[in-house]
Amino acid sequence: MKRQASLDDLRRYAVALTLGPPTTLMRAIRRLGFVQADPIRAPARAQDLILRHRVVDYRAGDLERRYPQLPVEEDALVNYGFLPREHLALMHPREPRRAWDRTTRQRAADVLAFVREHGPLHPRDVDRHFAHGRVRTYWGGSGSASTQLLDGLHHRGLVRVARRDSGVRIYAAIEHPPVANDPPARRARADALIDLVLRQYAPLPSSSLGYLVRMLGHGAPHLAAELAVALRAARASLAQVTLDGATWYWSADARPSSARHAPPDRVRLLAPFDPVVWDRARFEALWGWAYRFEAYTPAARRKLGYYALPLLWRDRVVGWGNASVTARGELALSLGYVDGRAPHDVRFSQALEDEVESLRRFLGLGEVSRRAAAPTPSSSASAVPRVRHPK
């Protein structure tokens, strides 16, 4: 009789699913299917922090430097990030939730014609030509109307990011191959999108699976109805187990209880958006404490730090680290532990030294200045929000 997967099995599988042996950059991106992006550098951008564990000798900025030569696109899936070019056909032509008004459509058409004639273009070149002025941004600030139009064209699949210039997107025109748009074809794309996200975010509790499929509205808002139908079918066909009242799902061909998922004696400082820790509800269920991304939390209310990196030891997230680069070009690292102290294991100590050295090389830095987290509420187990660990 087949043994039912346990929470320990699911935890090991969650770590093993996307943290296999390091490989080439393109193979790593294809294995993941999607790499979430974030502009904050603390100490590096999220996409670089995610890839450094999965690519041999990866250095901060390698993706941006190599992007123009890779079959990779900046686009939206469940969030904004990078994905293999072949996945664009699952989402384009994209139909946004909100249509442009007539004036905006005309302005966008003019901008698109200009990019087709002169691209690849920096947004300031478009703004200099059209002088569209300023508009209110999504976050409540003020931004260039031309940049907003380019973003809208990008979302609709009419331009692509050809490269970055000091972090700024450089746009070029693009035409996607036609795709079938009949009901069976749309449903097939919805099924494929759910399979794609399961490849890196499984195993998922039921609520998280539903949330993740709703997040696909970023990449495929026009497939909302098909995704809802595909989700119902997935719940019936995916492998699943109910533990402590929660039903977990993963791909039917995977075996979470396989011995090959045994974790190595490795320490990893993960990005806040790494697939292993991205879903906060799953994080709490698997590791028994509440990790929070606090970059947008007022400093006085932070418990873990501005950009706390979850600290993974084997298949356990035992704490967090805050890393920065000093004015002297050195790595400064502050560590905190859920239980108030580091695991009492000589193998952990050596693995941590190896991870710190790996992080230093990744950043291209010299010496490391490391200290324990200051004796504030963030470094004590009692102050970290906890949940009961399922048996």
Which class for 63: exposed (0-12), middle (13-18), buried (19 or more C-beta within 10 A)? buried
pLDDT for the residue numbered 119: 80
Q: What pLDDT, in 10s, does the model give residues 299-324?
A: 999 999 999 999 999 999 999 999 99
Mention every residue, 6+ apart, whose C-beta is less than 8 A from residue 66.
25
CB 56 within 8 A of CB 358: no
Residue 189 within a domain: no
pLDDT for the residue numbered 376: 40
The CATH number of whichever domain residue 331 belongs to comes to 3.40.630
Domain boundary among 173, 201, 234: 173
Angle formed at CA 206 by CA 203 and CA 212, multiple of 5 degrees: 75
Mention every residue, 6+ apart, whose C-beta is less than 8 A from residue 376.
none
pLDDT for the residue numbered 3: 79
Residue 129 within a domain: yes
What is the domain range of residue 109?
102-173
Domain boundary among 173, 205, 235: 173
pLDDT for the residue numbered 131: 75
Bridge-based pairing of strands 309-313 and 246-250 is unpaired
Domain boundary among 148, 173, 198: 173
**Prediction pTM value:** 0.91
CB 34 within 8 A of CB 200: yes
- Overall domain count for the chain: 2
Half-sphere exposure of 226 (CA within 13 A, CB side): 22
Residue 4 within a domain: no
Residue 201 within a domain: no
Residue 249 within a domain: no
pLDDT for the residue numbered 144: 80
Residues of the chain with pLDDT under 70: 1-2, 133-143, 366-391
Residue 371 within a domain: yes
The CATH number of whichever domain residue 113 belongs to comes to 1.10.10
Residue 306 within a domain: yes
